[in-house]
Amino acid sequence: MSADISFFGLFMQASLLVKAVMLMLLALSVISWTMIFKRSSALNRASRQSRIFEDRFWSGVDLSNLYHEVTHKVGDLSGSENLFKAGFKEFARNRKGSVSSPEAVMDATYRAMRVSLSREIDKLETHLPFLATVGSISPYIGLFGTVWGIMNAFIALGEVKQATLAMVAPGIAEALIATAMGLFAAIPAVIAYNRFSHRVEKLENNLMNFMEEFSSILHRQAMSNPANNGA
């Protein structure tokens, strides 16, 4: 057995199954880091765009003009923009249609915003289940590779008449690398998942607060002028 204890040397000496485990963990780690960077950028952008829109919303701008701005905006809309667009569109449609009851108008408006909110949360949670899965299973995949590698090391050790530590050490070392790689893949994924879940929860709360406040504004409009005219 070679005494090359470098990472590459141990990898080359490992059995085919242990190599497959290491390569799988390496792939999971690379994919996880890619998703971590993308999700971090997406959440930062969502938070920034929603803050900008809400500042514009509370600046006293006419809602019809704001709706026109949102519908003609180039690029992706933020979460609060989509909630506003869905709610105002449904509100105006029912006010101009055959629905005269303010309660019925607001019920339809609220349902439209709830659907939009659900879609926004789904977008914010993109890739989070994968990170949770990587964080959960990577240590076990690495442990499987370690157990297999140590088993092979001791089987090879049993075939020689005189066993020494120098003979078994490389085999155990290459097996333990699988566990280390499993932890290397799992730890960042778990940290990112917890952090992103907290940020998504905060964004969801902000969207729900905006939805409730916007509903209150529309409800006052519906109650002040229940006739069938435009918003």
The string of pLDDT tens digits covering residues 167-193 is 666 667 777 888 889 999 999 999 999
Which tokens go with 107? 């019920």
Average pLDDT in the chain: 84
* Residue 168 is assigned to a structural domain of this protein: yes
- The whole domain housing 63 covers 7-224
Residue 72 near residue 215, CB atoms below 8 Å:
no
Mean pLDDT on 135-147: 91
Dihedral class, residue 60 (left if φ above 0, else alpha if ψ from -120 to 50, else beta)? left
Listed ranges 18-22, 118-122, 163-167, 216-220; the one with the highest mean pLDDT: 118-122
The band of 2, judged by pLDDT with boundaries at 50, 70 and 90, is: very low
Higher pLDDT, 146 or 131: 131
**Out of 1-15, 62-76, 83-97, which region has the weakest mean confidence (pLDDT)?**
1-15
* Residue 1 is assigned to a structural domain of this protein: no
Indicate the residue type of 15: S
* Residue 229 is assigned to a structural domain of this protein: no
* Residue 78 is assigned to a structural domain of this protein: yes
The band of 159, judged by pLDDT with boundaries at 50, 70 and 90, is: low
* Residue 186 is assigned to a structural domain of this protein: yes
Higher pLDDT, 7 or 58: 58
* CA 49 centroid distance within chain: 18
Higher pLDDT, 2 or 96: 96
Q: How many domains does the chain have?
A: 1
CA atoms within 13 A on the CB side of 157: 16
* Residue 230 is assigned to a structural domain of this protein: no
Indicate the residue type of 84: F
Q: Interhelix angle for 165-224 vs 128-158, to 10°?
A: 170
How high is the pLDDT of residue 152? 74
* Residue 47 is assigned to a structural domain of this protein: yes
Q: 51: closest CA among 71, 87, 88, 80?
A: 80
* Residue 2 is assigned to a structural domain of this protein: no
The band of 39, judged by pLDDT with boundaries at 50, 70 and 90, is: very high
